[in-house]
């Protein structure tokens, strides 16, 4: 008996502690402990409950992982009907609403409203008895909904019991369940990887998750809630105003919208609408308007309801972002880096106030996943400033002979091969140095400081030279005359001469620089250096096969494939040859074996915020022969620590591993 009481107390205190951290993490967005420490607590409680099932309670945080599946949901009759909202679609309709409110209340002053986003999710009713979550129900038809308590319990932002004190004995909280965009994207990404179709939008995903009979599936879905109101309130009171009442809900651990504001009069409401519309795309959840409510609860009561909607609230909707139109053709656009993007040509249609006649289809995977075909009737969507996209086809309107869309084999700009590597979503033109679409980018890269370092040949000059058709490939640069340079805008004779001198000077380069300047995909400075050191000549690299290329330390199958594809294009070979004919040359390289590289056998770990991307530093270290590992151990030689380094730094210090800041790293590299 003693033992059991002791365990009961332990379980209780674990539960309290876990719920406390849950709230810090999910509701307050301000965690105190690490994820690992949290998991540890949860596992302890799980173990205890597994051993002594009589300790298990319905409000135990372990229940959030999902209970046993149900056969069907039972019905819930809402004690207070769940209403819907009237809509306003423009400023005038909102002003009409405000006028009606003032007339009914016989007010001459401005009305006090509260405003918050209209979330695009599902309405939910949460019933708390003595602070304990006893039931979660969907809206259904407003009178009768479905009991989805099991699934509701798995949502981390919903408290299983209220915190603090002073809550009514029975309290029915209302809110919107939704799936944050980030979670939705991850979920769909995973579905796609498993060959499944995924959800059309976060709202559908949230609805589908909540209607899962198996709570374990719901538990794995990233759902969240914002509470926006209440239904039944018994044995206690909320505030005098809606706003005050919402603050009480927040005190009891329920999540309310951080956007909730008190406003007076319609001009403030209008400003709020405009501001939120601007920020709409940046929010991590879908919204489709603003909900305004008369703040004073007595006034609300006075105003009452008409049929299914209250007179004291309105949803001022944002303009629709989706419209229906028809695909009239498909083009493939070649981007500056050679990526081919399928673009649908559309019958022009107004979407959220803008005429749309093209929409991106992103890539071939997207086309296949959404099964979009020629001549389809499609839903197009534009959000903010982003390029309009095709959301889906309307299958019922598909012509019987609608043809499938396929990727062209040759680049529509330069007829080089189009390459799509396994596992990559994007297909690319492999005509890098030659392709007109990539011309400017290729030449700018070629001239840049870490490549051929042609001083004075900036981006604007390259634009001019290409636009005037004076050059087509980097090799043409070396055939330009003083007169041709001097004829360009903002180019005095002196600078034209300087440029000619710089070009002359750049003819003598190094093999790593030359290789880098070719702009082969995935071949950065460090890889170019490794390749040059390993193979010693451009001919040897050109002739190397997959296997031989991969013997170079940081060359994997993908990089190797890019190198091979590059040198397979006759046009690219012509440009390389033309460059050499124009006098570009480099001193011969003595081939270094891997075991002679200066950092061979040294092991590095990178941590904290560094001034350059980690991948870049990693590549640089690897090209010098170093190993770069993910975690610190006794075998680590150096930890490179940037700002805000955490546990890895502590571990390195404990193990006596040498710690380098970026400056020290630079110094170390300079001595090699
Ligand atoms: S208040 C009686 N506030 O919109 C008023 N509803 O069109 C009840 N909704 O079923 C609703 N965000 O699911 C309110 N901030 C918000 C909301 C919101 C989304 C949904 C709710 C309701 C529907 C009505």
The full set of domain ranges for the chain reads 2-65, 87-317, 322-397, 436-591, 598-670
Question: Under a CB-based contact definition with an 8 Å cutoff, are residues 333 and 427 in contact?
Answer: no
- Return the H-helix or E-strand segment holding 212: none
Q: What are phi and psi of 288, to 5 degrees?
A: -130, 15
pLDDT band at residue 92, thresholds of 50, 70 and 90? very high
Fold (CATH) for 598-670: Rossmann fold (3.40.50)
Strands 112-119 and 603-607: unpaired
- Token readout for 357 is 């006649």
Mean pLDDT across 174-192 = 92
Percent over 90 (pLDDT), the chain: 58
Mean of all residue pLDDT scores within the chain: 90
Ligand 1 atom closest to residue 309's alpha carbon, by position in its atom list: 2
572-608 as b/e, with b when 16 or more CB fall inside 10 Å? beebbebbeebebebeeeeebeeeebebeebbbbbbb
- What would the pLDDT profile of 407-443 be if each residue is shown by its tens digit? 999 999 889 999 888 877 889 998 888 888 899 889 9
Ligand 1 atom closest to residue 118's alpha carbon, by position in its atom list: 12
DSSP state of 602: -
State if residue 176 touches ligand 1 by the CB under 6 angstroms criterion: yes
Q: What is the pLDDT of residue 426?
A: 87
Inter-helix orientation angle 436-447/459-467, to 10° = 140
State if residue 124 touches ligand 1 by the CB under 6 angstroms criterion: no
State if residue 313 touches ligand 1 by the CB under 6 angstroms criterion: yes
- What would the pLDDT profile of 122-159 be if each residue is shown by its tens digit? 999 999 999 999 999 999 888 999 999 999 999 999 99
pLDDT band at residue 384, thresholds of 50, 70 and 90? low
Fold (CATH) for 436-591: DNA polymerase; domain 1 (1.10.150)
Question: Under a CB-based contact definition with an 8 Å cutoff, are residues 65 and 219 in contact?
Answer: yes
Query: What's the CA-to-centroid distance between 92 and ligand 1, angstroms?
Result: 21
Q: What is the pLDDT of residue 167?
A: 97
Mean pLDDT across 651-665 = 93
Tokens 């006893």, located at residue: 134
DSSP bridge partners of 156:
none
Question: Under a CB-based contact definition with an 8 Å cutoff, are residues 452 and 446 in contact?
Answer: yes
- What would the pLDDT profile of 226-270 be if each residue is shown by its tens digit? 999 999 999 999 999 999 999 999 999 999 999 999 999 999 999
Q: Is 281 helix (H, G, I), strand (E, B) or coil?
A: helix
State if residue 85 touches ligand 1 by the CB under 6 angstroms criterion: yes
DSSP state of 303: H
Mean pLDDT across 491-518 = 91
Catalytic residue among 16, 118, 440, 654: 118
pLDDT band at residue 593, thresholds of 50, 70 and 90? low
Task: Please report, for residues 191, 244, 304, the alpha-carbon distance to residue 299 in angstroms, rounded to integers and kept in the order given.
Answer: 48, 14, 9
- Between 390 and 616, residue with greater pLDDT: 390
Pocket test for ligand 1, best of 82, 85, 178 (most atoms within 8 A of CB): 85
Ligand 1 atom closest to residue 293's alpha carbon, by position in its atom list: 1
DSSP state of 441: H
Query: What's the CA-to-centroid distance between 118 and ligand 1, angstroms?
Result: 6
As a three-state string, the secondary structure of 14-34 is: HHHHHHHHHHHHHHCCCCCCC
* pLDDT over 50 (residue 211): yes
CATH architecture of 322-397: Beta Barrel (2.40)
- What would the pLDDT profile of 349-382 be if each residue is shown by its tens digit? 988 778 899 999 988 888 988 899 999 999 998 8
Mean pLDDT across 280-296 = 94
Query: What's the CA-to-centroid distance between 294 and ligand 1, angstroms?
Result: 14
CATH class of domain segment(s) 2-65: mainly alpha
Q: What is the pLDDT of residue 308?
A: 81
Q: What is the pLDDT of residue 590?
A: 63
| 304 C-beta neighbours (distance < 10 Å), count | 10
Percent over 70 (pLDDT), the chain: 98
- Return the H-helix or E-strand segment holding 637: none
pLDDT band at residue 592, thresholds of 50, 70 and 90? low
- CA-nearest residue, atom 16 of ligand 1: 118
The superfamily in CATH containing domain 87-317 is: DNA ligase/mRNA capping enzyme (3.30.470.30)
* pLDDT over 70 (residue 385): no
Mean pLDDT across 195-221 = 86
According to the per-residue pLDDT averaged within each range, which of 569-583, 606-620, 656-670 is highest?
569-583
């Amino acid at each position: 008996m003693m033992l059991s009481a002791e365990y009961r107390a332990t379980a209780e205190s674990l539960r309290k502690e876990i719920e406390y951290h849950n709230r810090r993490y999910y509701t307050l967005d301000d965690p105190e402990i690490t994820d690992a420490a949290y998991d540890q607590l949860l596992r302890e409680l799980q173990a205890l409950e597994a051993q002594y099932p009589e300790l298990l309670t319905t409000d135990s945080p372990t229940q959030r992982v999902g209970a046993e599946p149900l056969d069907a949901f039972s019905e819930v009759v809402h004690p207070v009907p769940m209403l819907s909202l009237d809509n306003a679609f423009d400023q005038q309709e909102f002003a009409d609403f405000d006028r009606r409110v003032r007339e009914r209340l016989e007010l001459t002053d401005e009305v006090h409203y509260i405003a918050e986003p209209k979330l695009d999710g599902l309405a939910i009713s949460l019933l708390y008895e003595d602070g304990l979550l006893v039931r979660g129900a969907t809206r259904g038809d407003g009178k009768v909904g479905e009991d989805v308590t099991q699934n509701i319990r798995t949502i981390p932002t919903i408290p299983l019991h209220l915190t603090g004190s002073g809550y009514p004995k029975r309290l029915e909280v209302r809110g919107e369940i939704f799936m944050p965009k980030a979670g939705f994207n991850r979920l769909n990404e995973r579905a796609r990887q498993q060959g499944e179709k995924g959800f059309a939008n976060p709202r559908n995903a949230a609805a589908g998750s909540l209607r899962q009979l198996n709570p374990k599936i719901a538990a794995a879905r990233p759902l969240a809630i914002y509470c926006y109101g209440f239904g039944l309130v018994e044995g206690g009171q909320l505030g005098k105003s809606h706003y005050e009442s919402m603050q009480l809900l927040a005190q009891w651990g329920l999540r309310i919208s951080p956007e909730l504001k008190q406003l007076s009069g319609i001009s403030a409401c209008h400003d709020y609408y405009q501001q939120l519309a601007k920020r709409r795309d940046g929010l991590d959840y879908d919204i489709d308007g603003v909900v305004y409510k008369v703040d004073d609860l007595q006034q609300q009561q006075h105003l009452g309801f008409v049929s299914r909607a209250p007179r004291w609230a309105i949803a001022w909707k944002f303009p629709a972002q989706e419209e229906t139109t028809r695909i009239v053709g498909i083009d493939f656009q070649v981007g500056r880096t050679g990526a081919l993007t399928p673009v649908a040509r559309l019958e022009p249609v107004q979407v959220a106030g803008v005429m749309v006649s093209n929409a991106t289809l992103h890539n071939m995977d997207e086309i296949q996943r959404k099964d979009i075909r020629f001549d389809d009737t499609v839903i197009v969507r534009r959000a903010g400033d982003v390029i309009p996209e095709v959301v889906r086809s309307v299958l019922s309107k598909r012509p019987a002979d609608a043809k499938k869309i396929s990727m062209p084999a040759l680049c529509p700009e330069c007829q080089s091969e189009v390459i799509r590597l396994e596992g990559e979503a994007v297909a690319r033109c492999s005509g890098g140095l030659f392709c007109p679409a990539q011309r400017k980018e290729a030449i700018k890269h070629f001239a840049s400081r870490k490549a051929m370092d042609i001083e004075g040949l900036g981006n604007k000059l390259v634009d001019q030279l290409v636009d005037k058709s004076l050059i087509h490939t980097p090799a043409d640069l070396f055939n330009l005359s003083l007169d041709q340079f001097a004829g360009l805008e903002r180019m005095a004779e002196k600078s034209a001469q300087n440029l000619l001198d710089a070009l002359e000077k750049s003819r003598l380069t190094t093999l790593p620089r030359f290789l880098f300047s070719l702009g082969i995909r995935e071949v950065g400075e460090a890889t170019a250096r490794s390749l040059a050191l390993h193979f010693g000549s451009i001919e040897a690299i050109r002739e190397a096969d997959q296997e031989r290329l991969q013997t170079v330390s940081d060359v994997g199958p993908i990089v190797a494939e890019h190198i091979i594809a590059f040198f397979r294009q006759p046009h690219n070979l012509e440009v390389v040859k033309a460059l050499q004919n124009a006098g570009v040359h480099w001193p011969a390289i003595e081939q270094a074996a891997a075991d002679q590289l200066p950092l061979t056998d040294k092991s590095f770990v990178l941590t904290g915020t560094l001034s350059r991307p980690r991948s870049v530093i990693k590549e640089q270290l690897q090209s010098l022969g170093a190993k770069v590992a993910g975690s610190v151990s006794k075998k680590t030689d150096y930890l490179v620590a940037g700002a805000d380094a955490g546990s890895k730094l502590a571990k390195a210090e404990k193990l006596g591993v040498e710690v380098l800041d970026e400056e020290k790293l630079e110094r170390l590299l300079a001595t090699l």
